[in-house]
Amino acid sequence: GKIIFSGIQPTGVPHLGNYLGALRQWVKLQDEGHPKDRRFYSIVDLHAITVPQDPQLLVQRTRETYASLIAIGLDPNKSVIFAQQDVLEHTQLMWILSCHASMGYLGRMTQWKSKAGMADNADPLETSAPNKPALKLGLFSYPVLQAADILLYNATHVPVGEDQAQHLEFTRELGNSINHLYAKPSGPSRVPFKGFFLPQTIHSPAKRIMSLQDPTKKMSKSDPDERSRILITDSRDEINLKIKHALTDSVPGVSYDRDSRPGVSNLIDIMYYMDESKYGSPEEIAADMFGKDFSLKVLKEQVATTVADGLEPIRERYNEQMARSLEDVDAEMGRGASMAKGTAAMNLQRLKAAMGIRQHK
């Protein structure tokens, strides 16, 4: 069977990009997978603190993220759902990986450069730019913690959006170098380290949903403009308003072309991916349902209706989840964490033994 791992930062209720680009795939892998598959889905709170966080808000957003994962259809009886911080092995493996991770490779990560506010051609290791707050080590080593998340469970498949592809490439590279150094197919040890699987990236078809306000940028939680994204718990009115104000263009009629009409095409993509079984392709939606004689106003109304209909059951389940007692949710998350820990501790122990790091009883 497959071993599936993926993570989401506790930034509160996910947006349509998270949902269509990754989370919906998590649910599919749960409901349509092989009975022998194992799934680990983590709320990565330790990744969240690589940028400043308000402590109370972080608690609240972790709660909202968990409620959202259940609301979209993840089931703690079928998937292991847990908070990264509850399984301390993540940070232990991160240290071990840090001792093998290339600074040069990390410096080339586009996500680091953009979060650090650096130009593409900047020297990644020149961290003392004048008049800028000091760059933090945790932000730089973010991908090492992500690699630890994945390798700790010996994952074979990782469902993510396109923006995570580079981090996964890094994970495979790091896993491969650890394998070369320490893996032994067999041997006298009772707990041999046979090497990590080099995990495969799974992209959903909707691997890149764009901002409603600037369709050249991805839809993102950190965009200060709330109208740039639709949250999966937004009301029908909010969805209508955000899509009505989405940036498009002044070309007459409806057509699909991601390069010349990014705003319109993003809306058509959203409509298509909300209910893939209903339409053949985004191009078909543009040509058959709309075409040259339709206004963008009609398109937007239709997109808004499709999105609001699709999200309605999620919104209802989310409200039920948020009405549960904190004790109840904590206990459920604790059960997830102890299941995760069982696998994590065993895998870590194997690697440590192969490296000569012994547990002293």
| Catalytic site positions | 115, 218, 221
**Cβ closer to ligand TYM: 19 or 256?**
19
**Residue of 161, 262, 282, 310 interacting with ligand TYM (CB under 6 A):** 161
**Cβ closer to ligand TYM: 22 or 344?**
22
**Cβ closer to ligand TYM: 89 or 149?**
149
Least distance in angstroms from the C-beta of 22 to ligand TYM: 3
**Calpha distance 15→209 (Å, rounded):** 10
Asked if 242 interacts with ligand TYM (CB under 6 A), we say: no
3-class DSSP assignment, residue 141: coil
Task: Please give the full DSSP string across 69-121, using - where no structure is assigned.
Answer: HHHTT--TTTSEEEEGGG-THHHHHHHHHHTT--HHHHHT-HHHHHHTT--TT
DSSP state, 272? H
**Calpha distance 122→124 (Å, rounded):** 6
Using CA atoms, how far residue 227 sits from 92, 153, 219, 270, in Å, is 40, 37, 10, 15
Asked if 79 interacts with ligand TYM (CB under 6 A), we say: no
Least distance in angstroms from the C-beta of 130 to ligand TYM: 29
**Residue of 78, 113, 194, 208 interacting with ligand TYM (CB under 6 A):** 208
Candidates 203-211, 235-243, 319-327, 345-353; binding stretch for ligand TYM (CB under 6 A): 203-211
**Cβ closer to ligand TYM: 69 or 299?**
69
Asked if 96 interacts with ligand TYM (CB under 6 A), we say: no
Least distance in angstroms from the C-beta of 318 to ligand TYM: 17
3-class DSSP assignment, residue 39: strand
* Alpha helical stretches, state H, the chain: 16-18, 24-31, 45-48, 55-71, 89-98, 103-107, 110-115, 137-140, 142-152, 165-182, 236-244, 262-274, 282-284, 296-322, 326-355
Least distance in angstroms from the C-beta of 100 to ligand TYM: 18
Least distance in angstroms from the C-beta of 256 to ligand TYM: 18
**Cβ closer to ligand TYM: 151 or 304?**
151
What residues line the site for ligand TYM (CB under 6 A)? 5-9, 17-18, 21-22, 44, 47, 146, 149-150, 158, 160-161, 163-164, 207-209, 218-219
